[in-house]
Amino acid sequence: MNRLRIRLTDVSPLVGLAIAVAAAALSLPALILGVALVAAVLAAVHHAEVVAHRVGEPFGTLILALAVTVIEVGLILTLMQSDPERSVTLARDTVFAAVMVILNLLMGLCLMVGAIKHHEQRFQRTGMGAALATLTVLTVVTLVLPNYTSSAPGPLYSPEQLGFVAVASLWLYATFALVQTVRHRGYFLPDGAEQDEPEVHAPPPTGARTAVSGGLLLASLVAVVLLAKQLSPTIGGLLANAGAPAAVLGVVIAAMVLAPESLAAIRAAHANRLQTSLNLALGSALATIGLTIPAVALLSIITGMPVALGLSDKSAVLLFLSLIVASQTLANGRTTVLQGAIHLTIFAVYLFTTFVP
């Protein structure tokens, strides 16, 4: 059975890529695209865990976060260039949706799943506090401050401001990655309780297996994004017919692209490896802003395409609420089912007010 599972996870990324390429020339049913997308997501989770087991924490989670975010950036830029008039707010909506999905839905599910099985879980609060502080600065500077500057009207930065914010975002993320992987790596490693898990002590995969899984991980993520792009018009049409606001498309894109990381994080929490889950969650949020905003800013400056980054008052309130609650959740290094329920409730409020503004 194990051999069958490995064989399927090795084949599904290539099948997903083939279906995505075929869908660009042929009209394939949405059901086939959806099944291929789910298979590619599951394959990405499997191969990400193989690579993470080989390289260890926190490098494994960083690799997955960077890989997903780089391809997410490609998807956003492609969609922006294909329809510039309707894409003025696409980057903002997608980045904000990704932050809300990660801070509330993903963290909430991880905390809930872990607490139901293990009652109370622990993590290193020093590293998570540093990650949340970095995320707070990035989100406020990129998504809130544009509403209060005067060089450009509305929720937009001027080209000079956009360039400065892009450099600052990239600098902050690069500094965080250096701290996480080199200078203070110990702050992001699992504690002793997590190290006792049998899964942690399983023999690491061979170098050849890791190389194959690394290539298949990249293929899986490319397939996820290409399939998501193919499904976006169908989903957009369904949302438009249902009368859903335009911001809902950003939620759907974020949820599809973040699916591999989300499944990996939830599985880690269930295995009592909450540190790994939080590394994935907060690392993904940081990579999303730290890489997406500079790429979008560069495209805007080169092409002259306007990009609205400032959030509405309602969205800014929900962002501040999420950051404040997350700081309380990560304050003492322990979590219970209550924190999970709180974050899931915030996400439910965000989702409901997105559909019913």
pLDDT in tens, 121-160: 888 888 888 889 999 999 999 999 999 988 888 788 999 9
Count of beta carbons in the 10 Å neighbourhood of residue 357: 10
Compute CA distances 18 → 21, 89, 282, 319, 348, whole Å.
Answer: 5, 31, 32, 39, 36
pLDDT of residue 48: 74
pLDDT reported for residue 2: 46
Residues of the chain with pLDDT under 70: 1-7, 55-62, 64-65, 68, 70-72, 74-75, 78-86, 191-203, 236, 246
Question: Residue 109 sits in which domain range?
Answer: 2-355
Whole-number Å distance between alpha carbons of 172 and 250: 24
Give the C-alpha separation, 62 to 343, whole Å: 23
- Please give the DSSP secondary-structure letter assigned to residue 311: P
What confidence score (pLDDT) does residue 197 get? 47
pTM over 0.85: no
Beta pairing partners, 335: 121
Cα–Cα distance measured from residue 60 to residue 38, given in angstroms and rounded to the nearest whole number = 22
Q: What is residue 193's predicted lDDT score, i.e. its pLDDT?
A: 42
Contacts of 49 (CB under 8 A, 6+ apart): 60, 264, 267
**What pairs with residue 308 in β-bridges?**
156
Q: End-to-end CA distance of the chain: give it in Å, rounded.
A: 48
Close Cβ partners of 264 (under 8 Å, ≥ 6 residues apart): 45, 48, 49, 64, 280
The tens digit of pLDDT for each residue in 59-93 reads 666 676 677 676 667 667 766 666 666 677 888 88
The answer to whether 76 and 311 are in contact (CB under 8 A) is no
C-alpha span between 332 and 139 (Å, rounded): 23
- Range 249-268 burial, b when 16+ CB lie within 10 A, else e: bbbbbbbbbbbbbbbbbbbb
According to the model, what pLDDT value does residue 71 have? Answer: 67
**Residue 56's pLDDT is what?**
66
> Cis omega before residue 245 (within 30°)?
no
**SS3 call for 144:** helix
Domain count for the chain: 1
- Cα separation values, 127 from 133, 262, 309, 316, Å: 10, 20, 28, 26
CA gap 86, 73 in Å, rounded: 17
Task: Look at residues 352, 288, 305 and name the one whose alpha carbon lies nearest to residue 80.
Answer: 305
- Give the position of tokens 């009652």: 119
Q: What is the pLDDT at residue 283?
A: 83
350 within 8 A of 100, measured Cβ to Cβ: yes
Beta carbons of 280 and 128 less than 8 angstroms apart: no
At residue 313, the pLDDT reads 92
